[in-house]
């Protein structure tokens, strides 16, 4: 976690306990936790509104098409395979 080991973390907590005091330290930790949770929620909302995952997938597809000259093939579902097999068998029967 940020390159902070256990001994450094203990020193930071002891200094915070001395400076802030034992009565206000839990309130400070609680408000810090709420602030971090709100920040995380806000960043998730921004990511969702920007469709970061969808844009990343599109960029990857574009990169593949430029580098390899083709788009990534999506695997066919079992339903689509069954439809293709049925169409092929009907076509063979008509010939």
pLDDT value of position 88: 54
Distance CA 21, CA 28 (A): 10
Q: What is the mean pLDDT of residues 79-94?
A: 52
Q: Which residue has the higher pLDDT, 86 or 12?
A: 12
| Residue 41 pLDDT level (bands cut at 50, 70, 90) | very high
| Residue 20 pLDDT level (bands cut at 50, 70, 90) | confident
Distance CA 87, CA 66 (A): 33
The model's pLDDT over 66-86, given as tens digits with 9 standing for 90+, comes to 888 765 555 555 555 555 555
- Rounded to the nearest 5 degrees, what angle is found at the Cα of 67, between the Cα atoms of 66 and 69? 65
| Residue 29 pLDDT level (bands cut at 50, 70, 90) | confident
Quickly list H helices, 52-77.
Answer: 52-68
Please state whether the predicted TM-score (pTM) of the whole model is above 0.95. no
φ, ψ of residue 76 to 5 degrees: the values are -75, 145
């Amino acid at each position: 976690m940020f390159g902070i080991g256990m001994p450094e973390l203990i020193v930071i907590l002891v200094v915070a306990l001395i400076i802030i005091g034992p009565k206000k330290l839990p309130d400070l930790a609680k408000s810090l936790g709420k602030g971090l949770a709100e920040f995380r929620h806000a960043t998730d909302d921004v990511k969702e509104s920007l469709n970061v995952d969808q844009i990343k997938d599109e960029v990857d597809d574009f990169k593949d098409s430029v580098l390899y000259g083709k788009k990534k093939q999506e695997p066919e579902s079992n339903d689509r395979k069954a439809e293709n097999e049925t169409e092929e068998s009907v076509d063979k029967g008509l010939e």
